[in-house]
Amino acid sequence: MQIGCVRVEFYLHGVFSLKEKRNIANSIKQKLKNKFNISIAEIESQDSLNRLVFGIAIVSNSGKIIQKVADNVLNFLEKITSEEIVDTSVEIFSL
C-alpha cells in the first residue's frame, strides 16, 4: 500500500473575514471530493485571513497512480479557483 500526501498553499486576495475564508475553503473541498476519491482538510493557518493550506491524502497500490491523481488534482485546482497557488508539494510513502 502506498500513500500520497499533497500540500497546497493558497494566498487569498480580498478576504476580510474568517467566514469568507471558510466559504472559499468549503467550496474548494467539496468540488475536489466530488471529482476525486481523496481526503482533504485545512491543515495550517486556520486563523489567517490571507493564507489557506490544504492537506490531501491519496491511497493506492501504485505510486504512479498516486502521482497521476495528484497531478490531476493540482491541475483541477488551477481551473476551479481564481485564488493564487503559492506552493505545492507531493510526497509518496510506501507501507
13-57 pLDDT, tens digit each? 988 999 999 999 999 999 999 999 899 999 988 888 999 999 999
Which pLDDT score, from 0 to 100, does residue 82 have?
A: 87
The secondary structure element, H or E, covering residue 56 is strand 51-60
Global pTM reads 0.88
Sign of the four-CA dihedral 21, 23, 25, 28 = negative
Quote the domain boundaries for residue 49: 2-94
9 beta partners = 53, 87
Residue 7 reports pLDDT greater than 90: yes
Question: Domain total for the chain?
Answer: 1
Residue 12 sits in a domain whose CATH number is: 3.30.70.1120
- Under 8 Å between Cβ of 71 and 21: no
Per-residue cell: 80:
476551479
